[in-house]
Amino acid sequence: MSSPSSPSRCYKIATIPGDGIGIELTQSTLQVLNRLASLTNIQLEFGHFDWSSAKYHERGWYMPSDGITQLREYDAVFFGAVGWPDVPDHISLWELILPIRKSMNQYVNVRPTRILPGTVSPLRNCQPGDLDWVIVRENSEGEYAGQGGITHAAPYSIATEVAVFTYPGIERVMRFAFETARSRPKKHLTLVTKSNAQRYGMVLWDSVFYDVAKEYPDVRTDKMLVDAMTVRMTRNPKSLDTIVATNLFGDILSDLAAGLSGSIGIAASSNLDPTRKNPSMFEPISGSAPDIAGQGIANPIGAFWSAAEMIRWVGDGKLDLEADMLMKAIENVTAAGIKTRDLGGECNMLDVTEAICGEMDR
């Protein structure tokens, strides 16, 4: 396939492979992106950042103090995974992935899911096409505000977790969610909160939702409590389209969504700064998966899907065909049954990667 667009400027991509399967996934993603570039007029230039738990052990830090400034030199960040059993997770995350999301104003986390061709939902009555969701997760505040503390030694300890929600913080993600819903055929947005039990932040979420909804009369809306939402996702996936949720609920529901579409290994995410003042970050959400790391058997699709979204985002309308070309190749390959074990196949990461490269070539 020859390039569908005219010569483009060079896009600078920072990669942070991180830990575990993040390393292999990033390698495979580079292979696929380089192939995509060679087949089209996209020019990509990569910068590599070895910020990882292994390095943390060596040096005592994950990111250098000017880490965010370094990343700001790039058009986008591709992130593999962070977390390794020998560092407490709350340290690795709060020293690497969470500061990037927060400092770079990536206040939206977009998590699309659908059943890819040739793959099967664990749900009995769910055919491809019955499950096609985009979860818009608030990504900067709420339950991930990082506030709270712990006092007194055991056995008297008292700990608090303080979730902080602001009207502007909610409104901006809500607006993004309504725009997303509007851009999709069903134009349907479901709000997920727990405003019956959580009387302050969640009630504010509900009210901002209704405020913003007035500007989008063409978007059909409904509202679910997070507990009941999990039941609806398993019983009636067809009844959902675009979903907006807080940082924590978006995290939980997007994992469930990935599971219900076949595997967490296909789950992609885009951490976006919609103002485009900062680079956005793209990451598969499967995590570092210590149990299978280094074996070359991880499913690379979540990483490639994230990369496709990255190309779409940096192109800002100019690289949609190229992003689609990668997505189409992914779908053709799953349709052909070339799948890793988590999807019921027998291939390893390299097989899938090469098949997708080959598919783009055709």
Ligand X SMILES: CC(C)[C@H](C(=O)O)[C@@H](O)C(=O)O
> Mask: binding to ligand X, 139-168, rule CB under 6 A, as x and -?
------------------------------
Residue 256 in contact with ligand X, rule: CB under 6 A: no
Q: Is 227 an active-site residue?
A: yes
Question: Of residues 207, 210, 222, 295, which one binds its own copies by CB under 8 A?
Answer: 207
Q: How near is the Cβ of 194 to its own copies at its closest, in Å?
A: 7
Among 30, 63, 96, 97, binds ligand X (CB under 6 A): 97
Instruction: Give the CA distances from residue 4 to residues 8, 195, 213, 314, in Å, rounded to whole numbers and listed in that order.
Output: 11, 48, 37, 16
**Applying CB under 8 A, does 255 fall inside the site for its own copies?**
yes
Q: Which two tokens stand for residue 159?
A: 């700990």
Tell me if 239 contacts ligand X by CB under 6 A: no
Q: What secondary structure letter does DSSP report for 9?
A: P
SS3 call for 119: coil
Q: Please name the residue that has the structure tokens 């991930």.
A: 144
Q: Binder to its own copies among 1, 129, 200, 276 (CB under 8 A)?
A: 200
- The yes or no reply on residue 13 touching its own copies (CB under 8 A) is no
# binding residues, its own copies (CB under 8 A): 71
Q: How far apart are CA 202 and CA 342, in angstroms?
A: 36
Least separation in angstroms between residue 22's CB and its own copies is: 15
Residue 107 interacts, among its own copies, ligand X, none and using kind-specific CB cut-offs from 5 to 8 Å, with none
Site for its own copies in 268-307 (CB under 8 A): 287
Describe the strand order of the beta sheet including 242-245 as a list of residue ranges: 43-48, 10-18, 76-81, 280-284, 268-272, 108-114, 132-138, 242-245, 188-193, 220-225
Residues 77-96 that bind ligand X (CB under 6 A): 93
Catalytic residue at 255? yes
Query: Taking CB within 5 to 8 Å according to partner kind, which of its own copies, ligand X, none is near residue 252?
Result: its own copies
Is residue 111 within 8 Å of residue 140, measured between CB atoms?
Answer: no
User: Does residue number 303 form part of the binding site for ligand X (CB under 6 A)?
Assistant: no
Catalytic residue among 144, 216, 241, 339: 144
- In the block, residue with structure tokens 């097989």: 351
| Interface with its own copies, residue 138, by CB under 8 A | no
251 is an active site residue: yes
Catalytic residue among 50, 86, 227, 316: 227
User: What does 201-228 look like in DSSP terms, one character per residue?
Assistant: HHHHHHHHHHHHHTT-TTSEEEEEEHHH
Q: Which of 227, 316, 346, 361 binds ligand X (CB under 6 A)?
A: 227
User: Considering the rule CB under 6 A, would residue 196 count as an interface residue with ligand X?
Assistant: yes
d(CA 289, CA 284): 12
Distance CA(127)–CA(146), nearest Å, equals 40
Determine the distance from the C-alpha atom of residue 148 to the mean position of all C-alpha atoms in its chain, rounded to a whole number. Answer: 26
Single out the residue of 337, 301, 287 nearest to residue 112, CA to CA: 301
Provide, rounded to whole angstroms, the least separation between the CB of residue 97 and ligand X.
6
Contact at 8 Å (CB) between 10 and 42? no
Catalytic residues: 144, 194, 227, 251, 255
